């Protein structure tokens, strides 16, 4: 047999094996994502820990896989969300990685915050408290929307954690600033928010679903996913809408970019995201040295629902690499 023929046969065999492995991994990811379809939304929880922030506000924290080896994935959710937003990744990665979930102050089951303590610096301080109280090894920070802003602000204020303890970061559907300038969605929502809590209490019952479908999600969003998002919004206290909204008008977390560049950072953005437009994801990925950008076509603001498989794949791959380096 000629060398050329043998080479081509060998190359074909390698390529075939690679395709088989890729197909097997894709099937596995699909199976992991589908776990979330079999479990009622809002029922995935672990034993609760109540942790006190540095100003005394109670933070609701849950730890999955308490006795599993590191790394620990610490999840920070977004505006008017709660720990349930991680429904699909949590079920998919449960029993494989140690994971920490917490409700941001004034969200979910966490305590109410004084208005003057609702700042990005305080949210970053809360994240620091959660890390200090629940981890003692390598950490991967995962933040969605306002949670991604929290991670960037944490990097700005606490660079000493990076390399030493924080080994990677994943930022989903987020922004580092200029949201009021570049985002027409905020102009549509701002009048409602400015009118105050009583109006929001009345209006969100009728308008939440159209807003979710029209402004917050992509064209392929499933009905049950809209139900999930709507359930989280309705659980949020009306005052949280108004008290947290000013954070986004003056947002600037760009000083955290150099620190995040010291660890592998992945930025996930939905091409159909109107709340934190994909241009913001591109900007963040461009400014963080060495960052990886993942573009999700036809996906809006809730990538963990709209393309759970890809989000799970990114989290799993990131955690595998960190674990291998330990």
Mean pLDDT, the chain, whole residue set: 89
Mean pLDDT in residue range 279-298: 98
pLDDT at residue number 189: 56
Question: How far apart (Å, rounded) are the C-alpha atoms in residues 245 and 294?
Answer: 27
CATH of the domain at 77: 3.40.50.1820
pLDDT tens per residue across span 29-84: 778 778 889 999 999 999 899 999 999 999 999 999 999 988 999 999 999 999 99
Question: How far apart (Å, rounded) are the C-alpha atoms in residues 135 and 112?
Answer: 25
Residues 126 and 25 in one domain: no
Residues 247 and 120 in one domain: yes
Question: How far apart (Å, rounded) are the C-alpha atoms in residues 223 and 211?
Answer: 14
Backbone φ and ψ of 145, nearest 5°: 55, -115
pLDDT at residue number 203: 45
- Paired with 142 in beta bridges are 75, 170
Task: Provide the pLDDT confidence category of residue 201 given band limits of 50, 70 and 90.
Answer: very low
Higher per-residue pLDDT: 220 or 17:
220
pLDDT at residue number 202: 38
Residues 64 and 125 in one domain: yes
Residues 57 and 84 in one domain: yes
pLDDT tens per residue across span 134-184: 999 999 999 999 999 999 999 999 999 998 899 999 999 999 997 755 565
Residues 3 and 133 in one domain: no
Task: Sort residue 56 into left (φ over 0), alpha (ψ -120 to 50) or beta.
Answer: left
Q: Is the pLDDT of residue 17 over 80?
A: no
Question: How far apart (Å, rounded) are the C-alpha atoms in residues 230 and 210?
Answer: 10
Please choose, from the candidates 326, 324, 305, 307, the residue with its C-alpha nearest in 3D space to the C-alpha of residue 86: 305
Residues 133 and 19 in one domain: no
Q: Note the pTM of the prediction, 2 decimals.
A: 0.88
Residues 30 and 179 in one domain: no
How many independent structural domains does the chain possess?
A: 2
Query: And the tokens for 257?
Result: 């970019």
Residue 324: how many CB atoms within 10 A of its CB?
7
Question: How far apart (Å, rounded) are the C-alpha atoms in residues 78 and 210?
Answer: 20
Residues 55 and 10 in one domain: no
Domain that holds residue 28: 1-38
Question: How far apart (Å, rounded) are the C-alpha atoms in residues 184 and 188?
Answer: 7
The DSSP result for 281-326, as a single string, is HHHHHHHSTT-EEEEETT--S-HHHHTHHHHHHHHHHHHHHHHHH-
- Counting beta carbons within 10 angstroms of the beta carbon of residue 17, is it exposed (0 to 12), middle (13 to 18) or buried (19 or more)? exposed
The DSSP result for 144-195, as a single string, is ETHHHHHHHHHHHH-GGGBTTTEEEEEEES--SB-HHHH-HHHHHHHHHHHT
Residues 12 and 56 in one domain: no
Task: Provide the pLDDT confidence category of residue 21 given band limits of 50, 70 and 90.
Answer: low
Query: And the tokens for 272?
Result: 């159909």
Residues 57 and 173 in one domain: yes
Residues 169 and 242 in one domain: yes
Residues 13 and 162 in one domain: no
């Amino acid at each position: 047999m000629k060398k050329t023929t043998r080479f081509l046969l060998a190359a074909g065999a390698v390529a075939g094996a690679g395709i088989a492995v890729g197909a097997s991994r894709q099937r596995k990811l699909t199976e992991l994502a589908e776990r979330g379809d079999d479990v009622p939304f809002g029922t995935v929880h672990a034993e609760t820990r109540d942790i006190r922030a540095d100003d005394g506000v109670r933070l609701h924290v849950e730890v999955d896989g308490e006795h599993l080896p590191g790394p620990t994935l610490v999840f920070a959710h977004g505006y008017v969300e709660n720990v349930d937003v991680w429904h699909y990744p949590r079920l998919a990665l449960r029993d494989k990685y140690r994971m920490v979930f917490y409700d941001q102050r004034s969200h979910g089951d966490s305590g109410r915050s004084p208005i003057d303590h609702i700042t990005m610096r305080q949210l970053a301080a809360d994240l620091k408290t959660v890390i200090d109280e629940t981890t003692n090894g390598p950490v991967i920070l995962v933040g969605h929307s306002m949670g991604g802003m929290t991670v960037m602000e944490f990097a700005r204020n606490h660079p000493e954690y990076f390399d030493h303890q924080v080994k990677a970061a994943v930022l989903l559907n987020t922004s580092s600033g200029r949201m009021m300038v570049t985002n027409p969605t905020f102009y549509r929502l701002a009048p409602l928010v400015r009118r105050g809590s009583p109006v929001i209490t009345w209006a969100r019952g009728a308008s939440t679903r159209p807003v979710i479908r029209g402004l917050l999600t992509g064209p392929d969003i499933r009905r049950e996913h809209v139900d999930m998002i709507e359930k989280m919004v309705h659980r949020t206290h009306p005052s949280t809408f108004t008290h947290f909204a000013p954070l986004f008008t003056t947002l600037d977390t760009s000083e955290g970019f150099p620190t995040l560049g010291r660890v592998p950072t992945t930025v996930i953005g939905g091409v159909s995201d109107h709340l934190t437009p994909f241009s913001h994801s591109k900007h963040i990925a461009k400014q963080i040295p060495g960052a990886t950008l993942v573009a999700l076509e036809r996906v809006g603001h809730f990538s963990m629902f709209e393309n759970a498989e890809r989000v799970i794949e990114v989290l799993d791959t990131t955690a595998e690499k960190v674990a291998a380096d330990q």
